[in-house]
Amino acid sequence: MSADRSWTVLELLRWTEQHFSAQGIENARLDAEVLLAHALGTPRLQLYVDFEKPIAQPERAVFRELVVRRARDRVPVSQLLGSREFWSLELSVTADVLSPRPETETLVEGALARLPDRDAAYRILDLGTGSGAIALALAGERPAAHVTATDISPKALQIARLNADKLLLSDRLRFLEGDLFGACPGEQFDLVVSNPPYVAERDRAELPPELVHEPEVALFGGDDGYAVVSRLVAEVSSALSPGGVFGVEVGHDQTERIAKECGEAGLEQIETLRDLARRPRVVMARKPGGQQETHL
């Protein structure tokens, strides 16, 4: 990207797309567009209207820096922008939290389908809340619910609190620090959800380079990936009210084992949900007893 010639929006996009592709970046064109729009301070679609517009040198310098950090350092776009959209909520993200992923919306959908009364005062627990993505999405969709969001990482909780404040949801959210259910001992909930760390340490070498920018504690679940999630499943029953719902996101090759472990933990109505790419990603289950919803 030479500094001593003039560049139009379209030329810059083409150059950057090619550069990103050559570096093995998957969504090269999309990343180029999102970063250029950010550098120019315009909505992404405005770029299409402005294709022939020349870009001023100061904005090009900002863009160039973003391109270098994306291509050379493999910093995820969400961290370059400082935000990520999840469930139509604009969430702040930093290197202290996992950038929420679209597949996690499958867990939110599955949970909402099992808590169908929009106005009920459900008690909800999101374990390992990170940016607060799941907790905030659920709080937004169930305006009378009380949501507890926990994390073992105090830095993650700071970001989650910030997001709750920005979205004006703080009054119905409680943030607690601790190891799994140790954050809220003895409490019971109508819904427990979690997207715990489930990547196997032994797969570390094959992971996309972007993941080095995300917190290890958010990613790795011990050597085989099950260290946190299996403990979570084994302990969840005592944190559920009778008839309470449990939902957990795991890797696409982990749902079978986790569904089996849910059965061993005494849960029933065990189902596996698929993400948009049709991969099995979420296991939902229910604690026996209580007044169960029959809408499913």
Ligand X SMILES: C[S@@+](CC[C@H](N)C(=O)[O-])C[C@H]1O[C@@H](n2cnc3c(N)ncnc32)[C@H](O)[C@@H]1O
Nearer to ligand X, 76 or 197 (CB): 197
Tell me the closest approach of the beta carbon of residue 96 to ligand X, in angstroms: 9
Tell me the closest approach of the beta carbon of residue 247 to ligand X, in angstroms: 12
123-154: b or e for each residue (b if 16 or more CB lie within 10 Å)?
bbbbbbbbbbbbbbbbbbebeebbbbbbbbbe
Q: Where are the alpha helices (DSSP H) in 74-171?
A: 77-81, 104-114, 133-141, 154-166
Total Cβ atoms within 10 A of residue 38: 18
Interacting residues toward ligand X by CB under 6 A:
97-98, 100, 104, 127-131, 133-134, 150-153, 156, 179-180, 195-197, 217-218, 228
Tell me the closest approach of the beta carbon of residue 36 to ligand X, in angstroms: 26
Q: What's the Cα-to-Cα distance from 128 to each of 5, 132, 153, 226, rounded to whole Å?
A: 49, 9, 8, 15
Tokens of 178: 């601790």
d(CA 75, CA 243): 43
Nearer to ligand X, 196 or 280 (CB): 196
Tell me the closest approach of the beta carbon of residue 61 to ligand X, in angstroms: 33
Tell me the closest approach of the beta carbon of residue 242 to ligand X, in angstroms: 25
Do residues 41 and 62 make contact, with C-beta atoms less than 8 angstroms apart? Answer: no
Nearer to ligand X, 16 or 106 (CB): 106
Do residues 110 and 284 make contact, with C-beta atoms less than 8 angstroms apart? Answer: yes
Contacts of residue 110, Cβ cutoff 8 Å, sequence gap at least 6: 247, 271, 273, 282, 284
Q: What's the Cα-to-Cα distance from 124 to each of 80, 95, 100, 116, 175, rounded to whole Å?
A: 32, 26, 19, 13, 12
Tell me the closest approach of the beta carbon of residue 285 to ligand X, in angstroms: 18
- Which residues, in sequence order, are bridge partners of residue 174? 148
Nearer to ligand X, 281 or 287 (CB): 281
Nearer to ligand X, 21 or 170 (CB): 170
Nearer to ligand X, 36 or 127 (CB): 127
Nearer to ligand X, 197 or 280 (CB): 197
Tell me the closest approach of the beta carbon of residue 40 to ligand X, in angstroms: 28
